[in-house]
A and B are shown apart, each in its own frame.
Chain A
Amino acid sequence: MIKILTSNNVKLNLFQPLLAAVVFSFLFLPSNNYAQFKLPKYDVITLDNGLTVYLMEKKDVPIISVSAVFDAGAIKDGEIKGLSSFTAEALKFGTKSYTKNQIDSIFNFYGSSLNTYSRLDFAGIYTQFIKDDIDKLFPVLKDVITNPTFPDEEINKRKQRWAAELEQAKESPRQVIGAYYNKFLFNDSPYGNPVNGTQKSIEKIDRIAVSDFYLKNIRPENCAVAVVGDFDADKMKEQLVNYFAGWNSTTPRLINDTRENEKPLKESAVYLINKDNAKETTFMIGGFGVPMSNQDQIQIDVINTILGGRFTSWLNDELRVNAGYTYGARSRFASYKTAGTFYISTFTATKNTEPAIDLAIKTYNRLFEKGIDEATLKSAKNYVKGQFPPDYETAGSLAGFLTQKYIYGLEDSYINDFEKTVDGMTVKTANEIIKKYFPKDNLQFVLIGKADVIRDIAKKYGKITEKNISEDGF
């Protein structure tokens, strides 16, 4: 279902800068002492077959959330880009005991749905249902994970639509610019893989490729299941053992330790993507970021909040509030298991392309030229702390965190010491974080827009590589 934009013209959410936060501090002394938020208690067990199970009771609403993740993300696609993503969805195409239609109907009948997805580092399944329906739904979920049959007919049907969807997605620059950006930064190495593949690569998918990917990558020792909600943990443990203890993979385990060796960026470069009917230029500017394992993630996030992570962030304040160039400007660190990116992203009317890019760069450079002052840091610290608890309010978000723990090796202290870590930041450490992690030189640009009009502008920022958006792939 599409969210209808005509009825939801929302003041931009995520990104809302501080020039002089001192002005108001006498009114309400921003206080650092919010109530602490802690990760609720949970159990973790490893079955004999290697499957990891997390259980967390949460009884405020009579529903249960299940998140299952597999170490089977798009970085493992190999020659067939999109294979991870396709395989994740194909789990629902039919099993030894249920057809695709039955799987859809059973979940829908109980007011639920079964959602599969793939990211660069992992693939997964997510569902949520009313607690009384667990005995009806868990056997189906178990079969989807452990006994998929990948029928040819369903694979062929989906392949055709998948390819058409890839073409359709290019109607929306904001939907596809991320894929171009990763491709430009990582090139042909795994983190440059387009998660949903290309029209050409999807064509190569067949039952053999999907089965092979499944057997190699979706196996108990590569999988974690987190169950959070209204249940008794002891009973649930027993049930899960019953469901999953028999899941064994006979194919030899493949040790695939994908590591990204980032090639240093030696010069600024521009990836110019032509879209003939564009009236806007949608752009990203940045470079490499940090992997998930980085111990300074939280501090980096605080600094990014100041730069482009909230409404009053520098970027949004300059590009939106002061200049009126855009509906929103932001910046972000996207972190993966062994690599990461940093980017500034926004969009503007074609005629404003040059001043908007110049202003984005000028604003970004303030980080290095002026750094962060005490009042700004204090405001950002309060902001990230105040906005943190709602991120873990639901059974679904907690199940998501537990499975992220599994994939990325996150510690509980990420949540439990979040406030302490934020509070520990000083102006000195903040400015050190900037120097250490924010890419300053050799910035990379991806611009999607009308190339004939913006080509000369683009030249200013670096060596241009040009591509048409209608060309397959990224």
Chain B
Amino acid sequence: MKYLFVFFISAISMFAQVKADDVKSFTLKNGMKIFVLEDHSIPNANMYFFYKVGSRNEYVGITGISHFFEHMMFNGAKKYGPKEFDRVMEANGGSNNAYTSENITAYTDWFPSSSIEVMFDLEADRIANLNFDPKMIESERGVILSERSTGLENDPLEQLWQETQATAFIAHSYQWPVIGWESDIKNWTKEDLENYFHTYYAPNNCVVVISGDVKLSEVKKLAEKYFEPIPAGPKPRSLHTVEPEQTGERRVFVKREVPSPYVLMAFHVPQNISEDYYALELLNSILSQGESSRLYKSIVDNQQLALDVGSTYFDAFDPTLLFIYGIANDGVTAAQLEKSILDELDKIIKDGITDSELQKVKNQKLMQFYQTTETINGMSNTIGTYELFFGDYKKMFTAPEDYKKVTAEDIKNVAAKYFTKQNRTVGILNTEEVQ
């Protein structure tokens, strides 16, 4: 089926392979929206569940509970008790994982397509009837504390990240780390978990994506059998806290013994659904994607001031942060590294970018799109991400075109608009604070 379209592609659509129309969807009576992409290239399939809940839905005292909850989803329901979810899934050839961000919690199952009905049964059980075994809660607390500590132990940047983010936001719940603060991890209760489940884990707060060696008609039948009987819940209350405009540079210092300093900058930027999104995302690529990117080429390669530099702009529902980090080379001070990053930003603000740079990052985006479509995993994750963060999965397929519309001037403008001193938070991690 896929190959047929190769001969009919026009110049408008560069994508011969998967097309937006290949993705089918239906909504169950309880409000659960399900996307299906048939792809028979390997005898496998996957199932992604995107819940619109993340650390942004938390408050002080229960920070990290979204992520803890993610773990508890594997610890027993009604039909399948503690440990049974994983045992049954693996015995049927499947594996699973999950991730939590500030904005969403996503659950993933990867399985041979012949085991699809087991997956529906397992998932329906935990969505409808999750159970909280006090013993499992306690052992999972230990797991999470280990997850938190091993992240900090192995990566100084993670420690700096947490403190910089906490400094950049003063009102919005994006200020605490997804994994939560240690004292909250140690103290939340079974009741907190139950409340969370009832507030956010209703089928109408979930988008499901299934890709691979499946048939739409069969998926529909199974969804109606297993998921539709789960009752809808009340719509969770929407968040109203708006981060006030930052009025001056903020700085934070983290003391930790390291061979050379780490620098992290955070600039307030808008969420996915905003007119500046595509220009900012291309600017992000211009800064740090590949050896020819501005930051890498200048700071790592030419000036030898850093061992590594990078930037990220995460998907977000609310106004968020664009991060730029650098790890100093031997003998380079934090101040030197910070200045070199700011100098690169100033160059873009002042002189803009070249046409060739613009074309490069557009090409990188097209390549990224193709790489996503290479695997059924990439497809499911991206379909769900676009549906949630852009309000429409089709935006995934128009992304290369949407990026094409961005001009060099747009990029210069967003750089000038957001890379200001007033809008930034600078975090430094070092053995000693140098005055």
Contact = CB atoms under 8 A, between A and B. Distances in A.
Nearest to A275: B153
Best-surrounded residue of B150, B161, B304, B365 (most CB of chain A within 10 A): B150
A8 B149 contact: no
A238 interface: no
B6 to A, nearest CB: 8
A21 B41 contact: no
Given A172-B154, A386-B112, A327 B147 contact: yes
Contacts of A395: 374
Given A9-B179, A63-B374, A390-B42, 19 more contacts: A5-B151, A11-B97, A23-B84, A24-B87, A28-B88, A34-B114, A35-B43, A104-B291, A108-B364, A109-B356, A111-B368, A160-B304, A164-B307, A171-B156, A172-B155, A279-B152, A280-B150, A349-B146, A385-B93
Contacts of A437: none
User: A interface, how many residues as a size bin?
Assistant: 35 or more
Interface stretch (A79-87, A207-215, A317-325, A405-413): A317-325
A115 B189 CA distance: 48
B212 to A, nearest CB: 9
Interface in A97-119: 101, 104-105, 107-113
A326 B143 contact: yes
Nearest to A30: B91
Best-surrounded residue of B71, B74, B95, B165 (most CB of chain A within 10 A): B95
Given A16-B95, A109-B360, A111-B366, A317 B145 contact: no
Nearest to B115: A386
A172 B314 CA distance: 25
Interface of A: 1-2, 4-13, 16, 18, 21, 23-25, 27-28, 30-31, 33-37, 59-63, 101, 104-105, 107-113, 128-130, 157, 160-161, 163-165, 167-168, 171-175, 276-280, 282, 310-312, 317, 320-327, 347-349, 378-379, 382-383, 385-387, 389-390, 392-396
A24 B84 contact: yes
Contact of B142 (A9, A63, A323): A323
A161 B307 CA distance: 6
B16 interface: yes
B363 interface: yes
A280 B152 CA distance: 10
Interface string B117-143: 110010000000000000000111111
Contact of A393 (B16, B154, B259, B374): B374
A324 B330 contact: no
B102 interface: yes
Contacts of A326: 143, 146, 150
A215 to B, nearest CB: 26
Contacts of A378: 91
Interface of B: 2-3, 6, 16-17, 41-44, 67, 70-71, 74, 80, 83-84, 86-88, 90-102, 110-115, 117-118, 121, 138-143, 145-147, 149-158, 161-162, 165, 177-179, 213, 256-260, 288-293, 297, 300-301, 304, 307-308, 310, 312, 314, 323, 325, 327, 329-330, 356, 359-360, 363-368, 370-371, 373-377
Given A5-B158, A171-B259, A157 B301 contact: yes
Given A11-B98, A34-B112, A321 B300 contact: no
Contacts of B367: 63, 110-112, 128-130
